[in-house]
Amino acid sequence: MRTALGYIISLSLFALGVFFIVRMGEQLPVKSAVVAVTTSPTITSSHAVEAGDSLKQLLRNIKQPLSILLLQMLSIIIVSRIFGYLLQQIKQPSVIGEIIAGIVLGPSLMGWVFPEASHFLFSPESIKSLQFISQIGLVFFMFTIGMELDFKLLKGRATDAVVVSHASIIVPFFLGMVLSYFIYTDFAPVGVKFLPFSLFMGIAMSITAFPVLARIIKERNLSGTSLGTLAITCAAADDVTAWCVLALVVAIAQAGTISSAIVTISLSFAFVMLMFFVVRPFLLRIRETKTERHSIVIAFLVLLISAYCTEIIGIHALFGAFIAGIIMPDMDGLKLQLTEKIEDVSLIVLMPVFFACTGLNTQIGLLNTGYMWVIFGFILLVAVFGKFVGSAVAAKWMGQSTKDSLSVGALMNTRGLMQLIVLNIGYSLGILTPEVFAMMILMALVTTLMTSPFLDFVNWMEKRKML
């Protein structure tokens, strides 16, 4: 009783004190309009605001940068979840639905059907904030990808994995460069030389989406099987090799020629050696002596410093984040703790923002002639043939059954998210035109959508053979 009475008296004295201060303060003279210019324009006297002014103020608040950013993220997350759910219902990875959601929110659909709403929600001046957020999301995502690569998988299957994964890179890379020779004149950006253009076309054809492939294997209950283990091992080896090649390609693209890129390549090599032979032992020692919280803080510092260094070197921050993830020690479940802390925010909030930014850069309406669609057909043909045939033939050569060889080819043809990251790097560097960027985005979607139906087809053919 005494406690309740004291609480009521305290609140009453507080209210009386506030009332007294406000009454006294209202008697103070108001500064003139000339002096008031130095104060914040958003703070107005409640007596001066009428109904019309309140509505105007509300409209101004809606158009504030933070309000727009929050509305953008809210729209992106809702649309991404809807499309992700719909794609899951037809046995496709939800990430494909999120990619489609990004294209739907961009000029290809929303900008075409509702141009005014699109301009309000995704005005050119507001896109920069989204792009920065998406880049941060990618840095964290690549960090988790690096941590999820399990090099123990290579034990006992190293030869098979290396041969198949490298065949799945070499064949489409070469065919991509051949294709770039024929489309360079018509589709290369102004001022871009053939070397960086052809290298980016080659690496874009060679990427396998390790996260999407892993999700497909898990959803099809292939984890632990001979096929699932081979495919995930090949994808892991493919990712490491492809991202190293990508770092080299970016270095050459930034410098213009191979000779002028030697400094960048040398610095990149020194950086990788430093991470593996200095930073990793340091992290192992720190993990033994520090608490869990200190270890996680140090891990995040290593991530940010690594990403910063590779951005300064000129091979993109994503490569530094990827290497930081690879060198993280797995003592006492550190990788699991970091992944759990990052994945929820990264996959649910930040990655859909990246998909939306990709969709805003994708203008499918630019493919408005039959010639454009013919070129897209050739891009798709080269991508599928190079990746599928290169992987399947190599797997068969290494002694795999016909069914498993075809299945490996279908799985390695999965591009998805990793392809989008590569394409965005090429687009941001000015190496890919909007037309080529749109074609390559469509190719990434089609090749990823093909994976599940083709696996079903291979299984159906195997069952028919057994009858």
Per domain, the residue ranges of the chain are: 72-119+129-460
DSSP 28: S
Residue 37 binned pLDDT confidence (cut-offs 50, 70, 90) = very low
Which of 373-379's residues contact partners 24+ apart within 8 Å by CB, and which partners?
375/183, 375/187, 375/439, 376/439, 376/442, 376/443, 378/179, 378/183, 379/179, 379/439, 379/440, 379/443
In this predicted structure, what is the pLDDT of residue 184? 93
Residue 35 binned pLDDT confidence (cut-offs 50, 70, 90) = very low
- What residues contact 4, with CB distance under 8 A and at least 6 apart? none
124 against 409, higher pLDDT: 409
Task: Judge whether residue 147 has pLDDT over 80.
Answer: yes
Task: Judge whether residue 421 has pLDDT over 60.
Answer: yes
Residue 36 binned pLDDT confidence (cut-offs 50, 70, 90) = very low
Please say whether the structural domain 72-119+129-460 has been given the CATH code 1.50.10.20. no
When the pLDDT of each residue in the chain is averaged and rounded to a whole number, the result is: 83
SS3 164: helix
First to last CA, the chain: 84
Which range of 178-192, 206-220, 403-417 scores highest in mean pLDDT? It is: 178-192
Residue 439 binned pLDDT confidence (cut-offs 50, 70, 90) = very high
Q: Find the angle CA(337)-CA(342)-CA(345) to the nearest 5 degrees.
A: 140
Question: How large is the average pLDDT for residues 128-139?
Answer: 85
Residue appearing with tokens 């496709």:
92
Which of 76-83's residues contact partners 24+ apart within 8 Å by CB, and which partners?
76/101, 76/102, 76/105, 76/352, 76/353, 76/355, 76/356, 77/348, 77/349, 77/352, 79/104, 79/105, 80/352, 80/355, 80/356
Q: Nearest CA to 212 among 345, 410, 377? A: 410
pLDDT one-digit tens code per residue, 347-401: 788 888 888 888 888 888 888 899 999 999 999 999 999 999 999 999 888 888 8
53 against 460, higher pLDDT: 460
Task: Judge whether residue 261 has pLDDT over 50.
Answer: yes
Percent above pLDDT 70 for the chain: 89
- What residues contact 106, with CB distance under 8 A and at least 6 apart? 122, 356, 359, 360, 361, 362, 363
User: What's the pTM value of the predicted model, to 2 decimals?
Assistant: 0.76
Task: Judge whether residue 152 has pLDDT over 70.
Answer: no
Residue 287 binned pLDDT confidence (cut-offs 50, 70, 90) = low
Percent above pLDDT 90 for the chain: 19
Q: Are 245 and 202 in contact (CB under 8 A)?
A: no
Q: Find the angle CA(400)-CA(402)-CA(403) to the nearest 5 degrees.
A: 100
pLDDT one-digit tens code per residue, 215-257: 777 777 776 677 877 887 788 778 778 878 888 888 888 776 6
Residue 11 CA to residue 427 CA, distance in Å, equals 61
Q: DSSP string covering 346-414, please?
A: IIIIIHHHHHHHHHHH--GGG--SHHHHHHHHHHHHHHHIIIIIHHHHHHHHTT--HHHHHHHHHHHT-
Task: Judge whether residue 292 has pLDDT over 70.
Answer: no
